[in-house]
Amino acid sequence: MIQEPAANRTPSGDYPPLRVGPDPLARFISLSAALTGFSQAELQGTGMAQEYYNVMRSTLSEPLVGRLLLQWTLIEKLDSYLQDEYLSNTILGDETLGPMARNLITLWYLGQWWQLPVAWRQLHGANAQDTTRVVSAQAYEEGLVWVAMGVHPQGAKQPGFGSWALEPAPLPEKAT
Amino acid sequence: MSIHPGGQPDGEYDVIIIGGGVIGALIAQKLTAQYKRVLILEAGRAVGSTFPSYQSYVETFYASIPKTPNAPYPQNPKAPSPLAIDVHNITPGTPDLSDYTVETGPLPYGSTYQRALGGTTLHWMGFCPRMVPNDFKLQSTYGRGVDWPIDYDDIKNYYCDAEWAIGVAGNKADQERFGITFPDDYDYPMERIPLSWSDQQLQRYIDGEVVIDGAEHPVEISSLPHARNSIPRPLAARGGKAKGTGSYQPVPAVGTQSTGERCEGNASCIPICPVQAKYSALKTLNQLPEERHTLLTQAVATELLVAANGRIDGVVYKQYPNESTPDFLVAPVTVKAKLYVLAAHAVENAKLLLASGPNGLANSSDQVGRNLMDHPFFITWALAPRHLNLGQWRGPGATSEIPNFRDGAFRSERAATRIDVGNWGWDVATFPPDSNINAFVYGQNLYGPALRNLIADELPRQLRIGYVLEQLPESTNRVTIDRNYMGPLGTYRPVLHYDISDYTRAGMAFAWKLSDAIFDKIGIPRDQIFTQFDENSTGYMPYTPSGGKQMSLAYIGSGHHIGTHRMGVQKSDSVVNRNMRSWDHENLYIVGCGAFPTSATSNPTLTASALALMAADDMLKQLG
């Protein structure tokens, strides 16, 4: 059964509240932290959380976003040693939630939304907003991939003359 | 800057220059300094002529996927540029029509240029190596290609002029090899761009010798000259032509004095330098004396007119008020001057000559459009050992080269190569970091700290070495025009016919062995080398060495369009003489990289600039 995506925005332009507790944005940020390996403070420090939340809300239907955040809200309540296993199996391993979660990682790391996989779109519908794009110039500049690499984004946050001749940050202790 | 997108020619001109790129700009600068009046016709829009407009293109670059050379500059439907985003391997008999240029193969040309004010210097890397003396006499030294009508001694003073006109950072001591010489009292206007940390680490392992097929070859990592602002030298470094005291003043960004006087390490030279520390022709255009030049943008030259006596008698252009105006509303205008300079880019120069007159102009030799070359770019990539901690992804795209294979007796058998040691990870090899996110997140299903650590561990160790390969002139590699492939405003789309001979493929096969030897010196194990090509690779081509078995090679374009109106000593086999003046039309100059008889291995803009300044001297002589 192919399901059409719901129109998310109300006439006033706001998103209707999700029924996943009092603060869905906070749930979005804590899920993002688990997915990206960056702390919630680091994510908040990019200034991008609200924009990325909006990208997700405008691109995915309300029930799907609700399901993703509700699932994460349940996982968060688990003992920490169980959280990773449940994140892996019930979100990343889920045929509906997995592609959405991986796209959130890409959103944070590159500032890009990538069109969801064909199989996912056949299952849940092809939203016109679901196009591959850099979501904004600022999103590019705030891509976490550059932070993870220990460098500035190419073309932004210039490090200054001759900086490239200096010793870089050390590599992580051991490769994983 | 005196830009008149909707303006009119104003009075009498000594010279009309077609093309507002670096070559046209340098000629205009030299002519106006001698009180000549110049009209410049630029087909594209006035990209970046104010500081806010330039910043808008930086923003466009941020928001672009993919970040290709032309990405900051939206396509202009009235003066399209080849984008080379999807370079297709060509099916015989089926031209690839997907880009502005029509590609008939057998191999894809796959290089871009930019039709906008400033030209391709808007997105060039800015490397400015000189050519070596033997590059000018390939035929008499190695029995290959043709000789140039000039030699190194003829051009060396113009190289100095061009290096100071553009603003090149370099140390002459690093460049004095293969017979390249400089005046004793001369040096570049700015000190060399510092070698990257990665270069310095690699230098410790690479400098020395490599052994290939039993033969020893010296190798070393050396600095590259860049058209990129660095620490200025005293004006006395100009040598005999020094004027004034104090230091050279690095030229800041157009429209502001507050940025661009140093390279700030933005690491995005291609496609755009956010601070304009990298030279673009906009800087030269911005300095032209107001009263002695007129610059018309959005003015597409469509035809040169010729008089009965063989002299050029006018240029027809069509100036579109905006990029959406229907073609039929754009009327042709004819302008005249004493001299005409075609500086529109190798491909566009050939196109305009072929499209003019009943059967083309300046083409009694039948060489217009022929001998099209590029520097096929062969790339190899690997992960460097952790203990080197290369710290890639910082600084200009490359700050060093391995120059040892730019000349040698081997050029009678195979192509020379100039080797760039990259600073941006695997860049054009695999298009990271996007490709890594794709592989790690969607392929390996990584997330959380494992993902973050893998990125932190691998990407700074990505090493890409690029081999810029020489190509010989071949008459069948050419630009043509065809009524079946028309562009906007009644102009033609260029049709490219392109192949790469065994001379270059043999050079590429050697480059691969060299690459293995260099990676071996660095201590990279074989399983950390990822160079691999098959028939689905962009620019795939097979090569069978004599006595060996077939191997798969591949290349990408360097954006170095060379040939198409070559200079020579006689009108029977060349289009222009040593001053880049047409053999057939004495008041027509055809300038730029198209005038090169051979490609050698140097990035061509510096040499084209030096030649342009040489041609300008001849123009001044003609004008009296």
ipTM for this prediction: 0.94
CA distance, residue A19 to nearest chain B CA (Å)? 26
What are the tokens at B585? 């039309």
- Counting Cα atoms < 13 Å in the Cβ hemisphere of B577 gives 14
The answer on pLDDT for A6 being more than 50 is: no
CA distance, residue B150 to nearest chain A CA (Å)? 38
Please state whether the predicted TM-score (pTM) of the whole model is above 0.90.
yes
**Contact state of A102 with B441 under an 8 Å Cβ cutoff:** yes
CA atoms of B380 and B532, how far apart (whole Å): 8
**Chain B residues within an 8 Å CB radius of A171:** 386, 389, 456-457, 460-461
**Contact state of A170 with B457 under an 8 Å Cβ cutoff:** no
Q: Please give the pLDDT value at position B86.
A: 82
Condensed to tens digits (0 to 9), the pLDDT of residues B586-620 reads 999 999 999 999 999 999 999 999 999 999 999 99
Q: Please give the pLDDT value at position B292.
A: 95
Q: Please give the pLDDT value at position B4.
A: 53
Residue of chain A nearest B398, judged by CA positions: A164
**Contact state of B65 with A132 under an 8 Å Cβ cutoff:** yes
Q: Please give the pLDDT value at position B257.
A: 84
**Contact state of B265 with A161 under an 8 Å Cβ cutoff:** yes
**Contact state of A167 with B442 under an 8 Å Cβ cutoff:** no
**CA–CA–CA angle B435, B438, B444 (5° rounding):** 125
For residues B55 and B49, the answer to whether their CB atoms sit within 8 Å is: no
Q: Using the structure block, give the residue that is written with the tokens 């939340």.
A: A53
List Cβ neighbours of B621 (8 Å cut-off, separation of 6 or more): none
**Chain A residues within an 8 Å CB radius of B69:** none
Say which range, A16-20, A72-76, B24-28, has the weakest mean pLDDT: A16-20
CA atoms of A57 and A129, how far apart (whole Å): 10
**Chain B residues within an 8 Å CB radius of A36:** 447-448, 451-452
For residues B347 and B479, the answer to whether their CB atoms sit within 8 Å is: yes
Q: Please give the pLDDT value at position B8.
A: 82
Q: Please give the pLDDT value at position A4.
A: 38
Mean model confidence pLDDT for chain B: 96
CA atoms of B303 and A168, how far apart (whole Å): 55
Condensed to tens digits (0 to 9), the pLDDT of residues A86-110 reads 999 999 999 999 999 999 999 999 9
Q: Please give the pLDDT value at position A17.
A: 65
CA distance, residue A155 to nearest chain B CA (Å)? 5
Residues of chain B with pLDDT below 50 are none
The answer on pLDDT for A16 being more than 70 is: no
**Contact state of B448 with A36 under an 8 Å Cβ cutoff:** yes
Q: Please give the pLDDT value at position B509.
A: 97
CA distance, residue A63 to nearest chain B CA (Å)? 24
Q: Please give the pLDDT value at position B445.
A: 97
Q: What is the 8-class DSSP label of residue B494?
A: P
> Is any Cβ of chain B less than 8 angstroms from the Cβ of A101?
yes
For residues A112 and A134, the answer to whether their CB atoms sit within 8 Å is: yes
Q: Please give the pLDDT value at position B240.
A: 87
Residues in chain B, total: 624
Q: Please give the pLDDT value at position B613.
A: 98
Q: Please give the pLDDT value at position B604.
A: 98
Going by pLDDT thresholds of 50, 70 and 90, the confidence category of residue A176 is very low
Q: What percent of chain B has pLDDT over 90?
A: 93
